[in-house]
Structure 1
């Protein structure tokens, strides 16, 4: 039997097992153990709700999940979330989230409701920025809201939202009275030879609470499974890397009286990495008699934030609760590339070594003000929870490139320039939402509407002379959702929602010229229109004593999709430009479930079975480097059919437990791959994109408390030492690419940690 057939058989059995067992809970008592659908979400409506009460699909990961599953980065975070992946390009590491085929800046990332910096990419490896500026040791919950969510989250939520919530002092302290808490944690991961140390201090003295968390990480490159390519000509191992990360979270919160609470938050994260780009040696088609000789990268990223908040329980005529926040945030990416190459010099040509530094800095600074209010209204036939608010933001973007020649036989000039102008964006958004309950709370209908406006402005200086006129965008977006509880166990939900995404300043103004035999010219396009989307999502849920289950179907349509489009070759210059394209659609099915085996079949108390499945497909309009349009072509950002099956046990004493997880991923069907982004010379030679084979991997984690205040945690990952590729990492690479082994995932690896709480 083929791997695909085995996967489909097990998927069917898993779904049937959970659905059948949960159905038997129809006449059962209410759940005595929390289920997946009993988790709390805030991102869906900006008010606290159980997952089984919202009209959208949301995945919640808690701090407890992060610790037990030994999560070290955002890639680990979504390891068991089908339909959600993370991209990794090697040099800059784990970058952007992909939710149901929407990735990069189409997915909104927030930390404590503060928007995170944008990602950007270019044709050159030293001009890239990812969005991974979060340390998970400081996070108490992560919510992944799938599908367009602009009505409550504004622009950039056209593909979904990943909302991080940082830990508070109260998470470590007793509910009342003066108290203190200290913990020390150390861990090691063999996949990247990473050592992690975290110290946590929390205190309450009277009405003042404080928290300080410091984390230090030292790591190497993430190992690949294989060595050299089968030809022996390309490097199959990851490029050597040294990484150091410092992260600090500090909080002060003061309960002024019964109605008012204020707080101050400070975050600082600094990452430095040095990479020997061995994979670049000999990889550049220069025509020189000797290959490129040396490439080194010295990169750093930094994020710092200061935030204030004030919570007020007023129960006034206009609002019952009010919360305002004010945050300053600065994010910076600095990439320094040192290279040596052979250049032809002199009237009697000879080859000499040229060496240069490329120092690129990209910085985003923002001020963000948020105001959110709620009001309860009770009427004879319905109850209303009205929420409304205002968001104001000013964001400044700055980039600078310095090229310095250390060895310069060809007489090239040092250069300081910008790839895009200095830019400032002022934005404002207002939303209004009403959660209306009918029929003794069996039916909840949630309409919502939002207005957004954006005004980008650019400046010229000595490093960027091209002037652009000021732009402005505005948009209304709405949603309408409903949840109906057929019984105490079964419910159904449906939602229509709209998404809205303003063009990235990088896409509007970025200009790059790469001098080659045929130069590459990425041209700016200040006239880009905002992206828009419409989404329909329907689902059924069961939530009872035996467990919970949810099955969801969705259909998303995107207009004015922004993609990099080839414009052809003019005067030996290959021109590209970001443009708006229409007719992009994504549809799919998802299932997740949990079955308490102790209730269903008398297994030891605390034993559960979990499963999740995600399938989707998409198509759009694209073009190749000849300028040929491909309509109704497959959308390459769609991940293959994925399923996760797990068996978990948590002892009633909470002293020990573990989890066994089996991840199954189908092969990427060649008919579901667009070759529009394969270079024309590859296409003419019969080239096509590499299609990842299917795979199954097994992971196991366990924790044990030998004494009350000490927790030991260990995990073994990819136990069967399977060689496999993630589709998101290799999409766009041709089958003829010699370095495919460099994109394989780690083989068998382990992680351990010990935590001491005082």
Structure 2
């Protein structure tokens, strides 16, 4: 379907949904069923608020959504969230989130408020760390805050926040009294031949609650489209992979008395994967005359966390509630790459070709201690109600990386080496925030000003593995926001928010250095400035008995945007291309989003429990880049922007709650070539002509259903890409040449299915 067709059809549907949801505004009927805007968020304001009370756009996914939609990973999680995407490079799998064109470390990821490890991507297949340390079976809710949120969440939230909340014992137990719960769940997904088994135990004995969740997952590579043809000799199938994942979540929580509650949390997740990178066998590595004869990967990721918390309902003069937590976390990525190629050990006159086997062992580790203190105080006055929230956060993070290269045959001109691409670093950060939710005009108007101060003090350490002298520097910043929600009627409301974002430079952006004679020299830049942003978001909402709808417009401007730029050729021999991360200005992103749900039983007399959901996202971004000659190019398209996307879903949940399902239609417009900067080559696989591949538009249909044959057993099944459509996701192929022969390897799975059964005791 073409771009104009999608725009006309789905913008019309959006308007219809808004009209339907607001048709009975004057009647001010109470909502008989929960709507999208009745969901609760904490991440947007640090206090519990329904979505229709927040002055920004937030998406909430519950554990019930995760189960019914057969969500296995973070890619599945945002399948029906236009404006939010996940990148996948094949070897490391699903990695980072992309929110409105901001991705990687510009999006903050938290689990129970604990910051997650940074991503690092050197564009090398053997040197990448991702941020996917999450298991969906242990998640209670996921909140996606779109746009800068540094006033609440500090640095790294310049593009938005993805906040995961893990399950608690109370989620499985009766509200009061001693109780026990147990469940077993098994599932299978044909897209990656994955078997998943989960066991859950929960108990309350007096005032002590406990919970243990264990998940085991065994999978293969995610299949490309079954009908993907192969151009030339390039591999069109996914590279063979074996994946094993273990995840454990344990919690103990004790209600000391009516005012005090304490808890202990332990998490452990480890993933191992073995990949036969057949797509690289026969390719010629940069700077080498001989192609690879072998290319294999043995990768692992591991995250461990221990945390304690204390909740106090004090209602003192200084605060009503107090919550503090202390968490220790360690995240590690280990990539082992084994490759073989022919090398000439005899020289030009008498060439002797020998097989050279090389092992590369890359480790990236982050270890952190994080302390958070959050307090609230409510005060009532004659003309206004104030809900103050304030607190502080302290984090000490240690970053380590090590790269070992071993040449097995060890020809005379090669040697084994060990080194770091960046120095050892310890970063201390402190944040203090204050926010006031002011309710005026008989609860019609809510104004929320907020301010935050952040300070960052990195300390680096050179050693025999990283000898470049670096200069440490500290950063501090004030971030502010001002939001307002006004209720025109009991159904219709409007909202607006101005917010600032702030992001400190990554250690790798500042200190990463690589020298390959005759090929490349990546220079460190310890003088980088923090990224900053200003965002304006305005919208209109309707929330009534027929459903809900939200229409949002946003405009974001970024300064000191950190990007790797080309500085030209070196003057030394052998000549190499010089690259460095630098600050660039004039990056802007604007867009419009719509989401809504309509209760068809209330609106048109359909069977009770029938609903229609719609979501649309469109954005456009421009920024500054450098061309192949190192020249600055202004007003270039941002290639991180996804094409126009729309999702329409028809759902049914029987009043008995014993069965139901959804039929989802996803439509994505083609990527306009005018919206692609040909100077932004994000991949080593771009062709010499610089003509990047523009993904065609597509439409896919999915169907999921659940059924409870007896009270304690739930059967769930889903069929995805029912029409067996061949398509590519833009985020997966951006930077690839249109003439690249391996494009078919990036296609999404054809028709596939998932099934699961859950037995609760």
TM-score (norm 2): 0.97
SS where residue 702 of structure 1 aligns?
Answer: strand
Give the CA deviation at 1:519.
Answer: 1.5
1:65-98 deviation line (CA, Å, top 9, x unaligned): 0000000000000000000000001100000000
CA gap of 1:683–1:222, structure 2 versus 1, over 3 A, is closer
CA distance in 2, matches of 1:405, 1:687: 34
Paired position in structure 2 for 1:79? 79
Structure 1 equivalent of residue 709 of structure 2: 706
Matched, 1:437 2:439: yes
Larger deviation, residues 346-355 vs 47-56: 346-355
Match of 1:645 in 2: 648
Q: Is 1:521 equivalent to 2:521 in the alignment?
A: yes
Give the structure 2 partner of residue 222 of structure 1.
222
**Counterpart position of 2:370:** 368
Residue 579 of structure 1, CA deviation: 0.2
Q: Displacement of 1:38 after TM fit? A: 0.2
In structure 2, the CA distance between the partners of 1:543 and 1:595, relative to structure 1 (3 Å rule), is same
User: Which secondary structure does the structure 1 equivalent of 2:554 belong to?
Assistant: strand
Q: 1:479 corresponds to which residue?
A: 481
Q: Distance in 2 between matches of 1:543 and 1:180?
A: 38
Are residues 1:402 and 2:401 paired? Answer: no
Provide the rounded CA distance (Å) in 2 between the counterparts of 1:681 and 1:707. Answer: 54
Counterpart for residue 697 of structure 2: 694
1:287–1:111 Cα change, 3 Å: closer
Q: 1:289 to 1:51 in 2, by over 3 A?
A: closer
Please state how far the C-alpha of 1:680 moved relative to its aligned partner: 13
Residues in 2 aligned to 1:457 and 1:634: alpha-carbon distance in whole angstroms: 36
Say if 1:497 and 1:536, in contact at 8 Å, map to a contact too: yes
Task: Pick closer, same or farther for the CA change 1:680–1:567 going to 2, 3 Å.
Answer: farther
Give distance in 1, aligned partners of 2:733 and 2:3.
20
- Confirm or deny: 8 A CA contact 1:87 1:729 kept in the other structure: yes
Q: Distance in 2 between matches of 1:487 and 1:433?
A: 26
1:589-628 CA-to-partner distances (Å, cap 9, x unmatched) read 0000100000001000000000000000000000123202
Residue 287 and residue 74 in structure 1: after superposition, are their counterparts in 2 closer, same or farther (change >3 A)? closer
Tell me: CA distance 1:684–1:228, structure 2 relative to 1, closer, same or farther (3 Å): closer
Is contact 1:592-1:611 (8 Å) kept? yes
Structure 1 residues 368 and 290, CA gap change in structure 2 (3 angstroms): closer
Partner of 1:616: 619
* 2:493 alignment partner in structure 1: 491
Query: Over residues 436-487 of structure 1, what are the superposed CA-to-partner deviations in whole Å (9 max), with x where a residue is unaligned?
Result: 0001111000000000000011011221222222210000000000000000
User: Residue 722 of structure 1 corresponds to which residue in structure 2?
Assistant: 725
Superposed, 1:73-112 pairs within 5 Å as 73-112=73-112
Which is worse superposed, 287-296 or 482-491? 287-296
Runs of at least 5 residues in structure 1 that lack an aligned partner in the other structure: none
Distance 1:683 1:327 in 2: 43
Superposition pairs of residues 259-278 of structure 1, within 5 angstroms = 259-278=259-278
Write the distance in 1 (CA, Å) between the matches of 2:545 and 2:461.
62
Counterpart Cα distance in 2 of 1:614 and 1:288? 44
Distance 1:400 1:227 in 2: 41
Q: 1:684 to 1:221 in 2, by over 3 A?
A: closer
* Cα distance in 2, alignment partners of residues 96 and 372 from structure 1: 28
CA separation of 1:431 and 1:91: change in aligned 2, threshold 3 A: same
State the match for 1:458 in structure 2.
460
Q: How does 1:348-359 map to 2 (within 5 A)?
A: 348-359=350-361
Give, in angstroms, the shift of residue 226 of structure 1.
Answer: 5.1
Aligned residue-pair number: 755
Task: Tell me how far apart the structure 2 counterparts of residues 213 and 450 of structure 1 sit (CA, whole Å).
Answer: 36
- C-alpha distance in 2 between matches for 1:599 and 1:658: 19
Q: Which residue of 1 aligns with 2:116?
A: 116
Unaligned runs of 5+ in 2: none
Distance in structure 2 (CA, Å) of the matches to 1:227 and 1:722: 9
Report the alpha carbon displacement of residue 513 of structure 1 after superposing the two structures with TM: 2.1
Cα offset, 1:718, TM superposition: 0.3
Q: Secondary structure at the match of 2:368?
A: strand
Which residue of 1 is the match for residue 6 of structure 2? 7
Partner of 1:628: 631
Taking the aligned partners of 2:683 and 2:197, their CA distance within structure 1 comes to 49
TM superposition shift of 1:683: 10
- 8 Å Cα contact 1:221-1:241 kept in structure 2: yes
How many angstroms does 1:679 deviate by? 9.5
Q: 1:206 to 1:668 in 2, by over 3 A?
A: same
Say whether the 8 Å CA contact 1:227–1:235 is kept in structure 2: no
Mapped to 1, the partners of 2:42 and 2:302 lie a distance apart of 28
Report deviation, 1:17. Answer: 2.3
d(CA) in 1 for partners of 2:682, 2:329: 40
1:321 is matched with which residue? Answer: 321
Distance 1:247 1:369 in 2: 24
TM-score by length of 1: 0.98
The secondary structure found in structure 1 opposite 2:253 is: strand
Q: 2:241: which partner in 1?
A: 241
The question of whether the paired residues in 1 share the 8 Å contact of 2:211 and 2:252 is answered with yes
**Residue equivalent to 2:662:** 659
Secondary structure of 2:588's aligned partner:
strand
What is the CA–CA distance in structure 1 between the aligned matches of 2:663 and 2:565, rounded to whole Å?
45
Residue 485 and residue 299 in structure 1: after superposition, are their counterparts in 2 closer, same or farther (change >3 A)? same
Distance 1:486 1:228, change over 3 A: closer
Q: Determine the structure 2 residue equivalent to 1:512.
A: 514
Is contact 2:505–2:528 with CA below 8 Å preserved after alignment? yes
Distance in 2 (CA, whole Å) between partners of 1:254 and 1:742 is 51
Contact 1:179–1:205 (CA under 8 A) maintained in structure 2: yes
Q: Is 1:135 aligned with 2:135?
A: yes
Distance 1:490 1:286, change over 3 A: closer
Take 1:20 and 1:349, find their aligned partners in 2: how far apart are those partners? 77
SS of alignment partner, residue 12 of structure 2:
helix
The verdict on how the C-alpha distance between 1:267 and 1:490 changes in structure 2, with shifts beyond 3 A counting, is same
3-state DSSP of counterpart to 1:407: coil
Contact 2:693 2:734 survives alignment (8 Å): yes
**Hey, what's the Cα distance between the residues in 1 that align with 2:591 and 2:105?**
21
Q: Deviations over 1:539-575 (max 9, x none)?
A: 0000000000000000000000000001101130111
Q: Matches of 2:684 and 2:660 in 1, distance apart?
A: 55
Task: State the distance in 1 between where 2:684 and 2:163 align.
Answer: 42
| Structure 1 residue matching 2:408: 3-state secondary structure | strand
Q: Which deviates the most, 341-350 or 298-307?
A: 341-350
**Paired residues of 1:226 and 1:744 also in contact (CA < 8 A):** no
Alignment of 1:246-395 (within 5 A): 246-285=246-285, 291-347=291-347, 348-395=350-397
